[in-house]
Amino acid sequence: MKKKVSLKDIAEKLGVSIALVSYVLNNQKEGRIGKEISKKIRAVAKRMNYQTNQIARSLKTNKTYTIGLIVGDISNPFYSGLASIIEAEAEKNKYTVIFGSSHEDADKYRRVLETLMNRQVDGLIIAPPEHAEPGIKRLQKQGVPFVLVDRYFPAVKANYVILDNYDAAWQGTKHLIAGGRKRIGMITYKTQLFHLIDRKKGYREALKEYKIPFTNNWLKEISISNNKSDIEMAVKELLSCNPPIDALLLASNSIANHAVKYINTLSIKVPEALAILCFDETESLDLFYAPLTYLKQPLYTMGQMATNILLENIRDGNKIRQVEINAELIIRKSTERIT
């Protein structure tokens, strides 16, 4: 790579000090610098194609204008959608984003975090994996600005922007019950992540509220590594309960993906014999003969709020903002009332 031009190069060419060039190019001390020289400096900078060395500036100012983003996996549409929004919002504010994927592994997460911290990010947006709680507490003790998205830890008083997962699951379950369903199964992940525990609770509480006796074999918890056959097995078991379930709540888009594709191969009819309701959007299931009712996460709002809360925090400090956004229940054919 060719040597880049520095302030010094410009200063020498014009026989002025580096400081002066810096002031001009940063529009500082406006009015107190000679118009002539100022114009010349700008002209030379432009001609030589000067570009600020942000690294040097950062070292001096202790600000990198960089946000670290840690997600489960950037190739998951939920996270890539979020990343896209965060990037756009950051860019508006002159921030750049560096990202890393935790792959839902606490160790990998720690390594990514360390790398981002070494790079002196000004703050972080994090969708933490299981077992990250101690690390999050440590971050907080260090006074690093950060905001959690999608996931949170009730025992940690930190910024977060999440779905009101309890309420979402509650509303979803209620919708199924209102549609005449009596035996409602759920497939979710076996995990200690609170946002998923909340979904489970919302489901259980709604059943209780509407006096539907829950039985243990209605709830299937699969490994978060989430393989197809586990999900198919869960569906199969739920359908062979005696009596079989007549409605199914799916706790994530990837669960819905595999479950619905499998159900599509069976003879059971949706929504007549089985209603389906899932979390997140599932574009990949749009061609299913009974389009799915789902609990929509307001991605745009989440990304934007997370970014702005972070930037606010970077600027001035330590009021904590905890935001729970309501899901939007998008009702389609898969949960049509049975008559």
Partner DNA sequence: CTGAAAGCGCTTACAG
Does 107 help bind a second copy (rule: CB under 8 A)? no
Query: Within 3-62, which residues bind a second copy (CB under 8 A)?
Result: 51-56, 58-59
User: What's the closest the beta carbon of residue 10 comes to a second copy, in angstroms?
Assistant: 16
Instruction: Give the span between the Cα atoms of 258 and 254, in whole angstroms.
Output: 7
Contacting residue, 60, 94, 141, 211, with DNA by CB under 7 A = 60
Whether cis (ω within 30° of 0) applies to the bond prior to 271 is: yes
Does 115 help bind DNA (rule: CB under 7 A)? no
Does 287 help bind a second copy (rule: CB under 8 A)? yes
Query: Within 141-200, which residues bind a second copy (CB under 8 A)?
Result: 142-145
- Tokens for 257, please give them: 């993906």
Does 334 help bind a second copy (rule: CB under 8 A)? no
Instruction: Give the span between the Cα atoms of 33 and 271, in whole angstroms.
Output: 74
For DNA, the closer of residues 55 and 241 by Cβ is 55
Task: Say if CB 83 and CB 68 are below 8 A apart.
Answer: no
Residue 322 binds what, of DNA, a second copy, none (CB under 5 to 8 Å, by partner type)?
A: none
Contacting residue, 23, 210, 214, 262, with DNA by CB under 7 A = 23
For DNA, the closer of residues 25 and 88 by Cβ is 25
User: What's the closest the beta carbon of residue 50 comes to DNA, in angstroms?
Assistant: 7
- Kindly write out the interface string for residues 158-177 of this chain, putting x where it contacts DNA by CB under 7 A and - elsewhere: --------------------
Between strands 146-149 and 328-330, the pairing is: unpaired
Stretch that binds DNA, among 9-17, 145-153, 169-177, 217-225 (CB under 7 A): 9-17
Query: Within 74-93, which residues bind a second copy (CB under 8 A)?
Result: 74-77, 79-81, 83-84, 87-88, 91
321: number of Cβ within 10 Å: 16
Contacting residue, 174, 288, 305, 327, with a second copy by CB under 8 A = 288
For DNA, the closer of residues 28 and 96 by Cβ is 28
Task: Say if CB 153 and CB 194 are below 8 A apart.
Answer: yes
User: What's the closest the beta carbon of residue 18 comes to a second copy, in angstroms?
Assistant: 16
Instruction: Give the span between the Cα atoms of 59 and 63, in whole angstroms.
Output: 7
The residues with which 70 forms a beta bridge, in sequence order, are 100, 126
User: What's the closest the beta carbon of residue 116 comes to DNA, in angstroms?
Assistant: 15
For a second copy, the closer of residues 62 and 216 by Cβ is 62
Contacting residue, 13, 48, 52, 224, with DNA by CB under 7 A = 52
Does 101 help bind a second copy (rule: CB under 8 A)? yes
Owner of token pair 């610098």: 33
Read off φ and ψ for residue 13, nearest 5 degrees. -55, -30
- Measured CA to CA in angstroms, residue 232 lies from 215, 235, 296 at distances of 20, 5, 24
Interface contacts to DNA, rule CB under 7 A: 3-4, 6-8, 15-20, 22-23, 25-26, 28-29, 31-38, 50, 52-53, 56-57, 59-62
Binding interface with a second copy (CB under 8 A): 1-2, 51-56, 58-59, 64, 66, 73-77, 79-81, 83-84, 87-88, 91, 96-101, 114-120, 142-145, 260-261, 264, 283-288
